[in-house]
Structures are given as structure tokens and as C-alpha cells.
Amino acid sequence: MNPTQPRRPHAAFRWTVYVTTVVIVAVSTALVMSLFQNIAQRKREAEQVVFSLVDITEATVDPALWGKNFPRQYDSYMRTVDVERTTHGGSEAFQKLDEEPVWRTIFAGYGFALDYREERGHAYMLTDQRETQRVTMLKQPGACLHCHASVVAAYREAGLEKGAGGSLTDPLLSETGLAQLRQGFEAMCAMPYEEATQRVDHPVTCLDCHDPETNQLRITRPAFMAGIARLAESDDPVPHLPSVERWRRGDRAAEYDPNALATRQEMRSLTCAQCHVEYYFKGEGKLLTYPWHNGLKAEHLEKYYDDVGFSDWTHKESGAKVLKAQHPEFELWSQGIHARSGVSCADCHMPYKREGAIKVSDHHIRSPLLNIARACQTCHRYPEEEILARAEGIQNRNRALLTRASDAVVDLITAIHGAKEAGASDEQLAEARALQRKAQWRLDFVAAENSMGFHAGQEAARLLGEAIDYARQGEVEIARPRAGAP
Ligand code: HEC
Ligand code: HEC
Ligand code: HEC
Ligand code: HEC
Ligand code: HEC
């Protein structure tokens, strides 16, 4: 036989191959079919088990009951009690005032000079608020609870007491549900903290982020609904919020409503933006308000406060009327490259993890730097150490600039205080005090934001640069010789 010719198999052999192939195909098809059937049946069983375990309604506040239906999400949610520190963040609630005493000077005369801690996991939000000296030693309104407890049912109950129609189990996003929510929100904002806090039992729970009927993400916080509607009406570009941009181009007949218009990817950030934002209490009713009427940048918020003539307190040493910034994570993230690229809070803080055949969103919300493999490596194909080095590179530069900016603000406070002691008049100090307000607002905006600059490194650097400049301008102003000065 010519070895270069292919060997023609014997006819009987070909027949055997044919039969064997048919048998193998038939058997494996049967196997695959029964496997699919099995999976489908299992899935049906699982669904049945899920939906027959506990009947979840708008009144189901206790996360343990939701946990019976969704044990994986519940287990990771419960892990927000964990305490782990990172170089610049993490969840160890140390006293920031001891770690960096400059803040006692910067906050002189305000509650934050008493007690100001590193934040930690969601499991602690209610107890940490009840126990802070800013609550135990000062008078606070019920408005504080909006972001520290599961308030949906409590607001609605308070709304029902005020005479809103319907019942607690009406869908939240119905006309009656929303009317109950709004009226209860207003009532509870105005209550003394001690009274309002007795109406809640849990930190943020499933009901606050999920619809009990469909499990879809939803917005439940009245202050946020109002805040984002004002933002939509401003002309600050928000390319990272495409549904807001679309609303602006539309007929604008109804106000912007995230529950009706936001995309799923937007909701993965907006659910967090209900609380991780700057706020103040408006007027006698202490109505919780987000100052987004001009846009989301630090100077937009500042302009709103200037226009309405708001200040948080009068600085004890300098006499300046100043602002306190609070955790503007959503605002700073909005200025960064990740937001611009469509990366949501949940992408980094609640990354998917695989459990068997199922993808589960990690409800153990925490520093993503404790979880780089799942939080970052899905998009950044570098080794863990390299990703950590890049993130900490941004943070270390921010940290260094933050120290310079806080030193500059303290120097200005000292200079104004000195001039005041030497007999300078309010009129003579007015310009320097205005500069302190500007400098301190920018410094605190970056310091109170919890990512140590990571969420938008360049924006944070811009603000700190301006803070240093305003503070040093203030010092120059104080040093300027003036007619009739002593
Ligand atoms: C690209 C990933 C990414 C996105 C998107 C992101 N974060 Fe972060 N976040 C980080 C990193 C990294 C840190 C720094 C953690 C550290 O220093 O340990 C951080 C820190 C934080 C912290 C402080 C955590 C701690 O351990 O102290 C909070 C709170 C936070 N982010 C909230 C948000 C919110 C709210 C959003 C959306 C508006 C958001 N983040 C979007 C990556 C992200
Ligand atoms: C708009 C939502 C919101 C409101 C309103 C709010 N908080 Fe918070 N609070 C947060 C967020 C988000 C954190 C975590 C980030 C941080 O600590 O910066 C936090 C952290 C805290 C902490 C732990 C860290 C610290 O500062 O010591 C305390 C205590 C606290 N808040 C008390 C209060 C009190 C008292 C009020 C009312 C005067 C209040 N909160 C109102 C959202 C809010
Ligand atoms: C109802 C208000 C509320 C909502 C909604 C909320 N948070 Fe928080 N978050 C808080 C408060 C308050 C704290 C601080 C708790 C404390 O220090 O006791 C906190 C703490 C955190 C921390 C710090 C955890 C740690 O270990 O230090 C991260 C990270 C965080 N939140 C991210 C998110 C993300 C991401 C979302 C959206 C998926 C979100 N939060 C939704 C109020 C909220
Ligand atoms: C602070 C907001 C928040 C809270 C509180 C919360 N979730 Fe979620 N949950 C999310 C986000 C964000 C997703 C991702 C949804 C998406 O991508 O569409 C999610 C997804 C889910 C999903 C869909 C499957 C998955 O894992 O992606 C289930 C089920 C779920 N959550 C159950 C729960 C349960 C049960 C609780 C209470 C123990 C809870 N959630 C509390 C924000 C929250
Ligand atoms: C869903 C995808 C996604 C995830 C998750 C993600 N990133 Fe990014 N990251 C991007 C994109 C997109 C850019 C913009 C640059 C580009 O287009 O390549 C970027 C840019 C960066 C940059 C350079 C920009 C800057 O801020 O200086 C760093 C550093 C970075 N990411 C770190 C991280 C870290 C740390 C994590 C995890 C905590 C993370 N990223 C998670 C998509 C992602």
C-alpha cells in the first residue's frame, strides 16, 4: 500500500462506527435532556421554595424574613458587622479628632469638635448615631434618621397618623404610598431625635432598596427624590446620568422621577446616593434638603448655601460663619473618570460573586480595596498589587495635599483670631472670614468624602488647591496694613 494514500476503512468497520456514533449521540442527547429537565425542575422547585417561604410585603421591615427567601444576599448583608482597616479607610470607628487634632480647631464651636469617627459598616448605622456625643450631648432632629435607619414603613405609619389615605401595604410607588411617605417624612424630620428614633428598629434593610413585590431596585428617600429633581432642573451637565439628560431634552411636564426614568445601571448608584451625600436641615421644620439646585460640584452647593444665607455655625475662634461638609461621595464620584465611564457604586462596592451556578451581588458593602479581585480585576487586568498601588498612589497624593490644606486653614483661623483679640472690628475681618468660609468648605468637602480622593482624584486636588489659595489669601488680607489700625 502506498503510504501517502489515505487508508480506506473496511465497510464493516465503517458500519460499526456509524452504529456506535448513533448510539453515543442518542444516549448523550437523552442524558443532556434529562439534565436540562432536572435543572428546570430544580429551578421550579427553587422558585416555589423561594416564593412559598415568606410572604414579603411593604410592611416586612425585618431583614431576617427577607433572608429566608434570599439567604445568600442576607448572609453577606449580615457581614457588614466586620471590622477591617485599610491604609486610608476601612471600618474601624477610631476617633478622628485624636488621630488629627487640627480638626478640633477647624470645627471649634460645633458638634463635630466633640466626637467625629471613622465610619463603618451599615450594621452599625443606627447604634452609632444613637451613641455619638453629637446626639447624646446636643439636641438633634428626627431628620437625622433618614439615612441611618430603615425608615420607609416608619415614615408611612407617621403619614397615616397625619391623615394620609390608604394603608401601609399599598405599593410604595403608588399615589397613596408616596403621599404617606412624604407626609411622614416631614413629620419625622421635625420631631425631636429621641422621639423619632423610637419609631425605627433596623439599619438600612432590604425594603429600603428593593420592591417587595418584584425585588427591583427602587428609590425610597423623599429628600433624595426632591434633590435629584432640583438637580435635573439645573444646567450642570451630568453625562453620567443619561436619564437626567434625556429628561432635560424632553417636555419636562412632570418633574424628574428616578423610579420611573433611571436605568438599571443608574439605580446601582442612585440607591447609594440617597444617603452618601451632602445635606442640611431647612428652616424650622428641619426639613432634610440636598443642595443640588445649581449642580453637583462643590461650588454649586456653596452657591446654593450663599444664596439662601445658610451657615452651619459661627466659628468659635474666628467668628466666621462656616459650613460643614458631610460625606459627598455621590457628588465627588460624579466628577470622576469611573462615573464618566459608567461604573456604578455597586460595581465596586457590591461586586458579583459566583455561588455555584448563580451570580450574587455581594451585600457585604465595604472598602473595595479589601476585595480587589472581584471589585477591580473584572475590568483592570493587572495584578492585585499593581491595582492597589495605583489606588493608593491617588490616595497618598490626596492625603499629602489635605494636610497642607488643613494647615493653611488653621493658620488663617489663628490669624483672624489674633486680629480679633487685637481689636479688629467685624467690618475689618469680614473679607478674611469670607475667605475662611470658602477655604474651609473646599477642604472639608474632600476630607469628609470617604474615599481619600480616589472617587475623583483630579477634582479633589483642584478643590484642595483652591482651599490652600483662599486660606493664604485670607492671611494676606489680615496682614494688610489698614488706615486707623492699631
Ligand atoms: C471604581 C470603583 C469605585 C466606585 C465606582 C465607587 N467607589 Fe467608593 N471607594 C472606592 C475605593 C477604592 C475606596 C477607598 C477605600 C479605602 O481606602 O479603603 C472607596 C471608598 C468609599 C467609601 C469609604 C469606605 C471605607 O472603607 O472607608 C464609601 C462610603 C464609598 N466609597 C462610597 C461610594 C459611593 C456611594 C459610590 C457611588 C456614588 C462609590 N463609592 C463609587 C471605589 C469605588
Ligand atoms: C443624608 C444622609 C445623612 C443624614 C441626614 C445624616 N447622616 Fe450621619 N452619616 C451618613 C453617612 C453616609 C455616613 C457614613 C459616612 C461618614 O461617616 O462620613 C454617616 C455617618 C455618621 C456617623 C458615624 C461617623 C461620625 O461622624 O462619627 C454618625 C455618628 C452620624 N452619621 C450621625 C448623624 C447625626 C447626628 C445626624 C443628624 C444631625 C446625621 N448623622 C444625619 C448619612 C447621613
Ligand atoms: C439609608 C442610608 C444609606 C444607604 C441607602 C447606603 N448607605 Fe452606605 N452608609 C450609610 C451610613 C450611615 C454609613 C455609616 C455607618 C456607621 O458608621 O455606623 C454607611 C457606610 C458605608 C460604607 C463604609 C463601610 C465600612 O466598612 O467602612 C460604605 C463603603 C458604604 N456605606 C457604601 C454604600 C453603597 C455602595 C451603597 C449603595 C449600594 C450605600 N452605602 C447605601 C448610609 C447609607
Ligand atoms: C443599600 C441598598 C441595598 C440593600 C439594603 C439591599 N440590597 Fe439587594 N441589591 C442591591 C443592589 C444595588 C443590587 C444589584 C441589583 C441590580 O444590579 O439590578 C441588589 C441585588 C439583590 C438581589 C438580586 C440578585 C443579586 O444578588 O444580584 C437580591 C435577591 C437582593 N438584592 C436581596 C436583598 C436582600 C434579601 C436584602 C436584605 C437582607 C437586600 N437585598 C438589601 C442593593 C441593596
Ligand atoms: C466596570 C469596570 C471598572 C471597574 C469595576 C473598576 N474600574 Fe477602574 N477604570 C475603569 C475605566 C473604564 C477607567 C477609565 C480609563 C479607561 O477608559 O481605560 C478606569 C480608570 C481607573 C484608574 C485610572 C484613573 C484615575 O482615577 O486616575 C484607576 C487607578 C482605576 N481605574 C482603579 C480602579 C480600582 C482600584 C478599582 C476597584 C476598586 C476599579 N478601578 C474598578 C473601569 C473600571
Tell me: the pLDDT tens digits for 324-360? 999 999 999 999 999 999 999 999 999 999 888 899 9
Q: What nine digits make up the cell of 351?
A: 461586586
- Mean of all residue pLDDT scores within the chain: 92
| Contacts with 181 (C-beta within 8 Å, 6 or more apart), sequence order | 152, 155, 156, 159, 172, 220, 222
Q: Mean of the pLDDT values across residues 286-314?
A: 98
Q: Is there an atom of ligand 4 within 6 Å of 219 CB? A: no
- What are φ and ψ of residue 313, in 5° steps? -165, 170
Does residue 29 form part of some domain?
A: no
Judge residue 316's burial from the number of C-beta atoms within 10 Å of its C-beta, 0-12 exposed, 13-18 middle, 19 or more buried: middle
Query: What sign results for the dihedral spanned by CA atoms 367, 368, 371, 372?
Result: negative
Question: Is residue 389 situated within a structural domain?
Answer: no
For residue 46, pLDDT beyond 60: no
Instruction: Please state, for a pLDDT cut of 70, what percent of the chain lies above it.
Output: 88
Q: Which residues contact 269 (CB under 8 A, 6 or more apart)?
A: 330, 333, 339, 344, 345, 346
The pLDDT tens digits for 201-257 are 999 999 999 999 999 999 999 999 999 999 999 999 999 999 999 999 999 999 999
Q: Would you say residue 462 lies in a domain?
A: no
Q: Backbone phi, then psi, for 36, in 5-degree steps? A: -60, -40
Q: Which of 240, 250, 245 is nearest to 273 (CA)?
A: 240
Confidence check: pLDDT of 32 > 80: no
Q: Is the pLDDT of residue 484 over 80?
A: no
pLDDT band for position 168 (50/70/90)? very high
Instruction: Look at residue 115 and tell me if it is in a domain.
Output: no
Strand-pairing partners, residue 281, are 288
DSSP state of 204: S
Least confident of 40-49, 94-103, 129-138, 398-407: 40-49
Q: Residue 224 belongs to a domain with what CATH number? A: 1.10.1130.10
Q: How far is the CA of 404 from the centre of ligand 2 (A)?
A: 26
| pLDDT score, position 19 | 60
328 lines ligand 4 (CB under 6 A): no
Q: What is the pLDDT of residue 53?
A: 83
Is residue 400 in some structural domain?
Answer: no
Centre of ligand 3 to C-alpha 122, Å, is 5
Closest CA to 261 of 3, 253, 118, 319: 253
How far apart CA 339 and CA 332 sit, in angstroms, is 10
pLDDT given at position 118: 93
What pLDDT is stored for residue 376 in this prediction?
98
> What is the spatial distance between Cα 445 and Cα 305, in angstroms, rounded to a whole number?
14
Has residue 48 got a pLDDT over 50? no
**Ligand 3 binding pocket, CB closer than 6 Å:** 90-91, 119-122, 124-125, 128, 147-148, 204, 208, 271-272, 274-276, 345-346, 349-350, 365-366
**Domain contains 464:** no
CA distances for 196 relative to 147, 149, 185, angstroms: 13, 11, 11
Q: What is the pLDDT of residue 200?
A: 98
Tell me which ligand sits closest to the C-alpha of residue 152. 3
* For ligand 1, atom 2: residue with the closest CA: 348
Where residue 6 falls among pLDDT bands split at 50, 70, 90?
very low
Report CA dihedral (241, 245, 246, 250) to the nearest 10 degrees.
150
Ligand 5 centre and the CA of 338: distance in Å?
6
- Is residue 175 one of the residues assigned to a domain? yes
Q: Which atom of ligand 5 is nearest to the CA of 378?
A: 5
Domain residues for the domain of 220 are 63-83+121-310+344-378
Ligand 3 atom with minimal separation from the 90 CA: 27
**Tell me, what DSSP letter sits at residue 7?**
P
Q: Where are the alpha helices (DSSP H) in 9-93?
A: 11-53, 63-69, 71-78
Supply the pLDDT for residue 17.
60
User: What is the DSSP code (8-state) at residue 209?
Assistant: H
pLDDT digits (tens, 9 = 90+) for 128-147: 999 999 999 999 999 999 99
CA–CA distance, 457 with 158 (Å, rounded to integer): 42
Q: Is the CB of 117 under 6 A from ligand 2?
A: yes
Q: Is residue 198 part of a domain?
A: yes
Q: What is d(CA 168, CA 182) in angstroms, rounded to the nearest whole number?
A: 13
CA–CA dist 90, 242 (Å, integer) = 31
Q: What is the value of pTM for the model shown?
A: 0.92
Half-sphere exposure of residue 119, counting CA atoms within 13 Å on the CB side?
21
Name the DSSP class of 290. -
Burial of 375 per CB tally in 10 Å (0-12, 13-18, 19+) = buried
Over residues 114-129, the mean pLDDT reads 96
Cell of residue 39, nine digits = 435543572
In this structure, are residues 317 and 105 in contact, taking their beta carbons and an 8 Å threshold? yes
Q: How many CB atoms lie within 10 A of CB 350?
A: 24
97-121 burial, b if ≥16 CB within 10 A, otherwise e? beeeeebebbbbebbbbebbeebbb
pLDDT at 194: 97
Average pLDDT of span 188-206: 98
Å from CA of 365 to ligand 2 middle: 16
**Predicted pLDDT at 20:** 64
16: pLDDT strictly greater than 70: no
Residues in the chain: 486
Ligand 4 atom closest to 67 (CA): 35
Q: How many structural domains comprise the chain?
A: 1
* Cα(259) to centroid(ligand 3), Å: 21
